[in-house]
Amino acid sequence: MRNQRRELVMAMFDLHGRVAAVTGASSGIGVQMAKALAGQGADLAIMARRKEKLDEVAEEIRALGVRCLAVQCDVTSTESIKNAVREIVAEYGKVDILLNNAGNAHMAPFLEYPDDGWESTIAVDLTAVFKVAREFARVMVKNNYGRIINTASMYGLVGATASTVGYQAAKGGVVNVTRQMAVELAQYNITVNAICPGFFPTPLTKSALESPEWKAYVKAMVPMNRNGRDGELNAAAVYLASDEASYTTGTTTVVDGGYTCM
């Protein structure tokens, strides 16, 4: 009976025959969510600046029994994005799913926040989300089908004690540009939704999130008393990428252990 239930779940969220492009897919949650889509049968195109790291991830994804194309791309460059889209379409003939995940952050107190920190964060975390979605949506429109998933943050919904004003501004922008994209693209059978993660360890943050000071902070601020774990964003990504989410658009799915409830 348990195996039958598992087969039913797989059938419900079956992505066989779909092509998914994932930005920021050389490490962290981008890799995890890319593998989650591959686990449901989607063929992948993974994108990032670090080609050597992408090639390693691509091999891991191919081991799951799907195709995977590694595409070097600078998401702050319109021409680089267009070249990546052309390469992916040349390989697969289409793109059904976009997971818009590339991100960046600069930390400094508000009164000392530098122009270049603000500009680089907005460029990667907001402007690039717009540019990447625009170029892939143009492909999706031709097929009258698409699923766009933008990675925002719970800090796109609330403020923070952390001094990362550029990040909060960008992620708040992602939440609302998701809504606007959803309105304009609905006529083409393209859904657009956002995922807002809470505290999830990445290669850059893992050591900090494991410190005693941080654990005390999380215990005080997160109702579930812990950071997010590897894989806990996957279900949201798979659902929003699936045909079962065909009437879900313009939404914000928060995966934060209850932080934004406080």
Catalytic residue among 113, 167, 217, 239: 167
CA dist 190 and 141 (Å) reads 8
CA dist 114 and 123 (Å) reads 14
Measured over all CA atoms, what is the biggest interatomic distance in the chain, rounded to whole angstroms? 60
Report whether 182 contacts 137 (CB < 8 A): no
Report whether 192 contacts 177 (CB < 8 A): no
Q: Which two tokens stand for residue 66?
A: 């799907």
* Complete edge-to-edge strand list for the sheet that includes strand 97-100: 68-72, 43-48, 19-23, 97-100, 146-151, 190-197, 252-255
167 catalytic per annotation: yes
CA dist 172 and 260 (Å) reads 14
Give the catalytic positions in this structure. Answer: 167
